[in-house]
Chain A
Amino acid sequence: MPRLVSHPDEVKIVTSRFGKGAAKIDTYLELGGYASARKALAEGAEWIINEMKASGLRGRGGAGFPTGMKWSFVPKQSAKPKYVLVNGDESEPGTCKDHLIFLHDPHAVIEGTIIAGLAIGAKTGFIYLRGEYRYLIQIVERAVADAYERGFLGKNIFGSETEFQVIVQTGAGAYEVGEESALMESLEGKRGVPRIKPPFPAVVGLYGGPTVINNAETIATVPHVLAMGGAAYAAVGSERNGGTRLFGLSGHIERPGVYELPMGYSLRKMIYEVGGGVRGGRKLKAVVPGGSSTPVLLPEEIDIGMDFDQVGKAGSMLGSGGVVVIDDQTCMVEFALRTISFYQHESCGWCIPCREGTDWLKKSLTRFHAGFGTEKDIDNIQYLAENMMGRTFCPLGDAAAMPTLGFVKKFRKEFEDHLHGKPCPFAHHPEVVLV
């Protein structure tokens, strides 16, 4: 089990049960578990949605869509069954928060799923776990089985007339399936490519039924929101960014780990106080603020609060909350190559700009990094990325293009230096094989 980290600035809401053995249902109950679900059952859908709206909770998957509003979009009457879908396909490099939730507090996900189901009138929830998280499936399945055994799931949840079933499903290893409609395709047993929208999942989703799909962290937050009240939860965070967020600090930092901090927490403080500063006392070169798909920030851009709006204003995205710290010994060309290699490998291949664009970016950067680049390559790389932006079928294309653009624009000088200090001005670059 990974070492848990802690810092006094943390506001432990979602992580409050981490490290306390809450994967066991008895412990979870001792720690106040399933009280929110019971309360939700008693109060009804309208109350749940109002509390969620009041909480200001925004989707923790990356896009930051207000959760309460999302739930309210689901039609009340539907000929087809409605579903709740938990997106546990956490795959963004730099992000490792959901995995901790499943590990330490799986019942919070189950309880959140039940509440979401009550809110939209669904009888079935699916927990879709990333294929590579195979080692978590036993834990989650155990938790679901325990919840069934206690009567929290099934035909009559908590002894009521209400039915709610939960099914756990794993993927087969595709970043693309983190996109909500691709996840539904995958869950239905098909090739994991996204669907055309509209219709949106709230209207036509899984198996054609209205579906609410939320990130695992969002769902795990729900019971806490109801327990403390929407308004109280909102008060923890910044304006229009309710509550806390699980930030994953990684990269060249002294104390890497997942920290639960209020929304709007200073990025500078996060790096230098919570994370203990750049590893080895080195100088900060750049920060990736929200997982590998978000554009890089420079040291002079880190005096911002970490919420969706402020990071957006700084020209990047809060994304999945994976903060990657880069020190001054890092080759940004190599970093760009590593990033694009991931997206090239994960592109589903459906649409042209992403399928071909990620591949040519990878090829160009590989050659460039190995010291065979030309002046024109830098423009070409930028041109490619610019022409992928906003042109692809799903956000993966943007996810690949955005960081690349950031690297080229903000570190163009380093790209140019790279050309002259062939092959790489930094000593520690790994062997790169030309393709």
Chain B
Amino acid sequence: MADVTFIVDGKTLTAPAGTLLIDACRKAGIEIPAFCYYPGLSLQAACRMCVVRQEKVPKLQTACTTPVADGQVFITESPEIAQARKATLQLLLGNHPLDCPVCDAGGECELQDMTFKYGAGESLYVEAKQHREEQKWSPAVYFDRPRCILCYRCVRMCGEGMDVWALGIQNRGVTAVIAPNGGDHLDCEQCGMCIDVCPVGALTSGTYRYKSRPWEMKHVSTVCTHCADGCKVTLGVRRANDGMEIVRADNRDKSGINGDFLCAKGRFGFDFVESAERLTQPLVRNSAGVLEPTTWEKAIRHVAKRFQEILSARGAGSMGVIGSTRTTNEENYLLQKFARTVLKTQHIDHERTADYATFHGLLVGSTGRAASLKEIAAAPAILLLGGNPTEEHPLLAWSLRSDVRLNHARLYVANTQAIRLERQAAQSVRLSDGGYEKLVRGLSGDEAALAGLPGAAAFRDALAGEESLVVICGAEFRGAALAAPMRWGLSRPQVKFALLSDGVNARGAADMGLYPDLMPGYQLLAGDRPIHTEYAGMPTTSGKDYAAMMEAAGSGGLDGLLVVGADPFAALGVAEGALKDTFLVVQDCFLTRTAAQADVVLPTASLYEKTGTVTNSYGDVQMVRKAADKAGVKPDFEILVRLAGAMGVDVRMLVPFGDAQGARADMGQTRGAQAGEADRHAVWLAANGLEPKLSPFDPLAILDEVERLVPEYKLDRLNLFAGNESTTEPGAGFVSVESLLQRKDGVVATHPGLFDSGLLSERTSALQEIRRHQEKLAVAAD
């Protein structure tokens, strides 16, 4: 739309015609208060706080419903307007309980802020306030009815934003009240978005209510640990007797790739950190065969000694390493480097959840073909092949819904099962097993392939008309099945791709080369790339993969196995005692089935207790910041460095820390809860061409090397450290798909649900309680 010029408070502003005055003003730094207005949701004009004076218009106008036009003149601050806002606040406060001293929202309440600003301090009424009892809608959501100011943000967020429509309005007039769809309970996805948008303390979180005050917490923005979408989550942490505890998780910092969004796992799934089952001391199996608590020094020395013994006795390839999709890029990189250069083995793998090797191979040589989440969220058209984003990738589902709703994007869904996103689809086809292959052949021009697929011809025609398209494949697409739709897309000029996975750093684990046959950046074991020079001396024949390693270990073929954050005993159904002849070291937060079989268990920090970066399904690299702290646990990064050190390795070879002058200053060990300053300092250092790599335990010290040796990781460091995402470019790699397509993809899909992320969700009491609530509802529905 053409720009128009208008005057606000004497300032001449310009905005596209039709922009809402409230948006235009806020963009220009002119504050307009509002309760009901919420960007991206439908307009209400109900709270009357945004009233402004428009020249030549008799009544005050609501800025949220006034589209700007040429020549308009507005006043947004005047005694008249201040009085109107004050009077509205007085009316609101009339029935408001004013229980701010105990209210969860006290201190971060929009009603408080506005009362403070407009000074509705005196009470005009003597009658009793309207009281209504508080309601527990679910373990996640509580509704304190008298605090509600009826701004309808929750109703719209649930309906328009989440497409769940679980909230509505009952009664009318002063008895009007927000009500859940179950009458007295919520039958919904329990995402808690209603709590997030509530401007007051009416909707409160089951995991946080009455636990703390906002100013008692430090608010740390980091990345959620539960799924591969990588939402930014704000953790509210507070001092506890054994470190820093997480009191709350929400989306207070809305600057992330998730914008307004956070799902149930991100919001309520953090108490695994405080689980009673959490390991806080290293365990070493004693002569009686029992795991016995010991000190870190003893445990590290013991492991280092045994590793050295195995190495010297059995040589290269005698040990295996299994990594995880929950550890950071730095840890994964260090783990494979440790394996390849210290343990001298190529038996390296992780719990693969998507075939990123093939994905990467197909994109090599092209540029701009991988879609970041932001690109998906703004794409004019999206083809979703397989997957079930609403259940397994809630942020992707949110982004697609918002794109359709706000940008009028066209979503095309092809799936073998019914998925919720079909509701937003411009067109959808339901396929039988094997239908994807036929559909893709049909898209590529094979008319006969579409016979017997109802609606497929129209589907193809509509896609043919889309100039710019993002193709998103579910994790079930791998190998040739993934190559087919990608080759179809690559034959067209403006098609981008994304491949879904499970695990917060599933993409990062693959990118960092936790493969028996691929180096970081999917580079082959042999070659003349810089990495091959730097990793001189490592074995160059492919190692055993995940399953093969477990099998070999079971039959005495592996002498040592280091498992970091994975649980192969559970994932592969390995029998107890199967590895009794292998020296098994497990690094994990909990005594998993695998850990229970280990000779040494090293208790690790969770993602919420360390610093680093993770890469989501869409290649967005984001900074993880240490929020919580637990005495006794250590980050995997530090454990690996100390192991190497204890094995007599020159740690500088592994982690290039310190500058040429040999500075050893430690800026908070791993940039942690108390090291917000260190992070800001890091930004400054980077801006001045300096590297904040001062400690061997600082995982960011290894980022330089990652950037140097992994072609697709050319990170915008300032942006990354400032808390934004920096997107990888898979096309910058070297390996062609032909060399990758022949290999076993080894993917084991996990299909986590809305409340499920495996190990962590099982140990999160809040998520378990929500699950029980949902199960009860499901039973009642039957």
A interface vs B, CB < 8 Å?
A: 174, 176, 191, 196, 344-353, 355-360, 363-364, 367, 380, 383-384, 387, 390-393, 435
- CB of A351 within 8 A of CB of B124, answer no
A349-B175, A353-B48, A355-B176 are known contacts. Are A360 and B126 too (CB-CB below 8 A)? no
Across-interface contacts of A357 in B (CB, < 8 A):
91
Q: Interface size (B, Cβ < 8 Å)?
A: 33
- CB of B124 within 8 A of CB of A383, answer yes
- CB of B124 within 8 A of CB of A387, answer no
Across-interface contacts of B172 in A (CB, < 8 A):
174, 176, 347-349
Dominant secondary structure of chain B at its interface with chain A? loop
- CB of A356 within 8 A of CB of B174, answer yes
Across-interface contacts of B169 in A (CB, < 8 A):
191, 349
Proximity bits, B466-505, A CB within 8 Å = 1, else 0: 0000000000000000000000000000000000000000
- CB of B47 within 8 A of CB of A363, answer no
A356-B174, A359-B173 are known contacts. Are A391 and B88 too (CB-CB below 8 A)? yes
A347 to B175, CA, bound (A): 10
Contacting A at CB under 8 A, from B100-141, are 124-127
A-B Cβ contacts below 8 A, count:
96
B interface vs A, CB < 8 Å?
A: 43-48, 51, 58-60, 65, 83-84, 87-88, 90-92, 94-95, 124-127, 149-150, 169, 171-176
Closest approach, in angstroms, between the C-beta of B222 and any C-beta of chain A?
A: 38
A2 to B173, CA, bound (A): 33
Across-interface contacts of A387 in B (CB, < 8 A):
83-84, 87-88, 90-91
- CB of B127 within 8 A of CB of A363, answer yes
- CB of B65 within 8 A of CB of A196, answer yes
Dominant secondary structure of chain A at its interface with chain B? helix
- CB of B174 within 8 A of CB of A358, answer yes
A196-B45, A391-B48 are known contacts. Are A356 and B125 too (CB-CB below 8 A)? no
- CB of A352 within 8 A of CB of B149, answer yes
- CB of B47 within 8 A of CB of A351, answer yes
A345-B173, A392-B48, A393-B48 are known contacts. Are A352 and B127 too (CB-CB below 8 A)? no
Across-interface contacts of A346 in B (CB, < 8 A):
173
- CB of A391 within 8 A of CB of B125, answer no
| Other-chain residue from B46, B124, B126 in contact with A352 (beta carbon distance below 8 A) | B46
- CB of A435 within 8 A of CB of B84, answer no
Closest approach, in angstroms, between the C-beta of B651 and any C-beta of chain A?
A: 64
Closest approach, in angstroms, between the C-beta of A435 and any C-beta of chain B?
A: 7
A417 to B580, CA, bound (A): 98
- CB of B95 within 8 A of CB of A356, answer yes
A203 to B155, CA, bound (A): 27
Identify which of A176, A344, A355, A393 gathers the most chain B CB atoms within 10 Å of its CB: A355
A360-B91, A383-B124 are known contacts. Are A344 and B173 too (CB-CB below 8 A)? yes
- CB of B174 within 8 A of CB of A344, answer yes
Closest approach, in angstroms, between the C-beta of B43 and any C-beta of chain A?
A: 6
A-B contact pairs, 6 of them (CB 8 A): A348-B172, A351-B46, A352-B149, A353-B48, A359-B174, A387-B88
A395 to B603, CA, bound (A): 66
| Other-chain residue from B91, B95, B149 in contact with A353 (beta carbon distance below 8 A) | B91
- CB of A352 within 8 A of CB of B88, answer yes
A393 to B48, CA, bound (A): 8
A348-B172, A351-B48 are known contacts. Are A364 and B127 too (CB-CB below 8 A)? yes
- CB of A360 within 8 A of CB of B173, answer no
Across-interface contacts of A191 in B (CB, < 8 A):
169
- CB of A358 within 8 A of CB of B173, answer yes
A174 to B171, CA, bound (A): 12
A356 to B414, CA, bound (A): 50
Identify which of B45, B92, B172 gathers the most chain A CB atoms within 10 Å of its CB: B172
- CB of B126 within 8 A of CB of A367, answer yes
Across-interface contacts of A174 in B (CB, < 8 A):
172
A347 to B150, CA, bound (A): 14
CB nearest neighbor in B for A383: B124
- CB of B174 within 8 A of CB of A391, answer no
Closest approach, in angstroms, between the C-beta of B177 and any C-beta of chain A?
A: 9
- CB of A352 within 8 A of CB of B175, answer no
- CB of A353 within 8 A of CB of B124, answer no
| Other-chain residue from B45, B87, B125 in contact with A393 (beta carbon distance below 8 A) | B45
Closest approach, in angstroms, between the C-beta of B38 and any C-beta of chain A?
A: 15
Across-interface contacts of A344 in B (CB, < 8 A):
173-174
A349 to B59, CA, bound (A): 21
A356 to B47, CA, bound (A): 11
Across-interface contacts of B91 in A (CB, < 8 A):
352-353, 356-357, 360, 384, 387
A352-B149, A390-B60, A391-B60 are known contacts. Are A363 and B125 too (CB-CB below 8 A)? yes
A364 to B124, CA, bound (A): 10
A102 to B43, CA, bound (A): 37
Across-interface contacts of B150 in A (CB, < 8 A):
349, 352, 355
Closest approach, in angstroms, between the C-beta of B616 and any C-beta of chain A?
A: 38
Supply 4 further A-B pairs (C-beta < 8 A) apart from A352-B46, A359-B94, A380-B125: A344-B173, A351-B47, A384-B91, A384-B124
